[in-house]
Amino acid sequence: MDVQKNIKEIESQVDEAVKDVESSKSLYDIKMKFLGKSGAISSLMKNMKDVPPEERPTLGKLLNSLREWTEQKFSALEQKLREKELKKKIAAERVDVTMPAKAFPSGSHHPNTLIKDELVSIFSGMGFEVFEGPEIENDYYNFTALNTPADHPARDTQDTFYLSDSLLLRTQTSAGQIRVMENKKPPIKILSPGKVYRSDDDATHSPMFSQMEGLVVDKGITLCDLKGMLDEFARKIFGEDVKTRLRPSYFPFTEPSVEVDVSCFECGGKGCRLCKGTGWIEVLGAGMVNRRVLEGCGIDPDVYTGFAFGMGIERIAMLKYGINNMKLLFEGDVRFLRQFK
Ligand code: PHE
């Protein structure tokens, strides 16, 4: 009988086809060849209409069981293949948690940033707040309000970049003192870091550099308070044994004014190349806030007194890290910068 022969034939074809199948994808293709719409088994079923009616029940049963047998065979195999594939996938995607992690090169802080952060941390420990003023300043804040009117000789010492008659690039963070005192009643205790600009350029000067300003105004502030605070600063930045010394100086906005030296932390004061044989190194300018400056900001100098100080951050960095040329701080050469981890 034809159909029965066909059934046997298809059975062995199915067995043959699945023998070497390796992936669920090729299994699917094979499955379609037999069970798909125009697959071998489906075609046989379609042909049932040509079979004499009396044979249909028997043949129908045979065909149905062929289809079931085939379906079962495929689904059992499919499950096996999927399990195998999943195992393979898991093995391939396995992460070895004991493997050393990839190291990404990390940058480092610029020496200026290191010093600035250190200074901010030292002074905020003493109760200072940070105020940052603008780099483009009025002539008024940078000079006039700091007791340096238009014809004052001290203007010549600061080689100013003017942007217009009244606007300039600030030459000193002292400009921030005025902005603070105009807006805040004493007690005032601020720290003002930032970039300043002067037309000056050699191994120890750069047209752009950074300063850190400090200002304290309150009742009963004296030069002793300034000296005590500077001692603390010098010990923290340069080392426990370092001492400070005040020398008379002149700034229009402070009276009296002082230059502050620290004892040489390299030779301990005996005299060496760093301190040029003197045992002392100049680190900053300071003084008691001039009465006229307080008055100009609406603060009564008979009630309040204050001190101010200003230092160059690059200068501190160069001293502390033994950097001999300021240009190194602005060139961005990673071979230099990498040394400050
Ligand atoms: N502004 C001064 C300078 O740039 C430094 C200074 C600040 C001096 C505060 C006294 C008080 O040289």
Among 55-64, 160-169, 179-188, 311-320, the minimum mean pLDDT is found in 55-64
- Residue nearest ligand 1's atom 7 by CA: 310
Whether 176 lines ligand 1, by a CB cut-off of 6 Å, is no
310 touches ligand 1 (CB under 6 Å): yes
Q: pLDDT by residue (tens digit) across 210-221?
A: 999 999 999 999
Asked whether residue 92 carries a pLDDT value surpassing 70, the answer given is: yes
- Residue 227: both structure tokens together: 């000296």
**pLDDT number for residue 132:** 95
Q: What are phi and psi of 211, to 5 degrees?
A: -125, 165
Ligand 1 pocket member 307 (CB < 6 A): no
DSSP 185: P
Give the residue from 170, 156, 168 showing the smallest Cα distance to 208. 170
Ligand 1 centroid distance, CA of 156 (Å): 15
Closest by CA to 211, choosing from 195, 198, 232, 225, is: 195
To test the pocket of ligand 1, the residue of 174, 178, 190 to mutate (highest count of ligand atoms within 8 Å of its CB) is 174
**Is it the case that residue 176 has pLDDT exceeding 60?**
yes
Please answer whether residues 73 and 35 qualify as being in contact, where contact means their C-beta atoms are separated by less than 8 angstroms: no
Q: With H, G, I as helix, E, B as strand and everything else as coil, classify residue 156.
A: helix
pLDDT tens for 228-268 read: 999 999 999 999 999 999 999 999 999 999 999 999 998 98
Whole-number pLDDT of residue 125:
94
| Distance separating the N- and C-terminal Cα atoms of the chain | 91
Question: In the chain, what percentage of residues exceed pLDDT 70?
Answer: 100
Shortest CA distance to 174 belongs to which of 221, 151, 142? 142
The pLDDT value given to residue 8: 86
Return all residues near 211 (Cβ < 8 A) that are at least 6 apart.
172, 173, 193, 194, 196, 310, 311, 312, 313
CB of residue 238 inside a 6 A radius of ligand 1: no
pLDDT of residue 1 exceeding 60:
no
Q: Is 132 left (phi over 0), alpha (psi -120 to 50) or beta?
A: beta
Q: Which of 141, 147, 172, 209, when mutated, tests ligand 1's pocket best, judged by the most ligand atoms within 8 Å of its CB?
A: 172
CB of residue 309 inside a 6 A radius of ligand 1: yes
Tokens coding 278: 């003197």
